[in-house]
Structure formats: C-alpha cells, structure tokens
Amino acid sequence: MVNFKWDQKRALEVAKEDGFADGIAVGETRGERKAKMKIALSLLKKGLPIGVITDSTNLSLEEVRKIAKDNGLAF
C-alpha cells in the first residue's frame, strides 16, 4: 500500500517551478525564431538565393517569402 500525505504548499511550489520552466522554454523558442527571421532578412537584403536562406535558417519557403514581402523585398 502506498503511503501518501498531501502537502498543498509543496504542490504549489512544484506547480510554480513547472510553470517557470515552461515559460523559459517558450521564451527561448520565440527568441530563436526571431533570430532566424532577422538572419533571413539580412540574407535576403544581400541577395542570397532563397534555397541558401531556407537551408541556413531552417525556415520554410513560405516564411522567407513573407519576410521578404513584409520588408518590401522582391525575389
């Protein structure tokens, strides 16, 4: 038989720690994506081929096209 004692204070601490870790992970993912988009824009401005940009940033062709369009760049 399992002996289990409920500790509300500890449960709240664990939930808070889990939420904090999740928030950090989301922030890191957003930051990485923003950096990739910034790099893609820089490469577009330098006139690099789209294939090189998608390979270098792991962004899709559609994402790179949108970045170009949003910044008034044609390719």
pTM exceeds cut of 0.85: no
For 22-40, the pLDDT digits (tens) are: 888 889 999 999 999 999 9
14 burial via Cβ count (<10 Å: 0-12, 13-18, 19+): exposed
For 60-75, the pLDDT digits (tens) are: 999 999 999 999 997 6
CB 66 within 8 A of CB 72: no
Mean per-residue pLDDT of the chain: 88
Whether the pLDDT of residue 1 is over 60: the answer is no
In which band, very low, low, confident or very high, does the pLDDT at 3 lie, cut at 50, 70 and 90?
Answer: low
Q: Quick one: tokens of 21?
A: 């870790």
- Give the torsion through C-alpha atoms of 36, 41, 46, 50, to 10 deg: 70
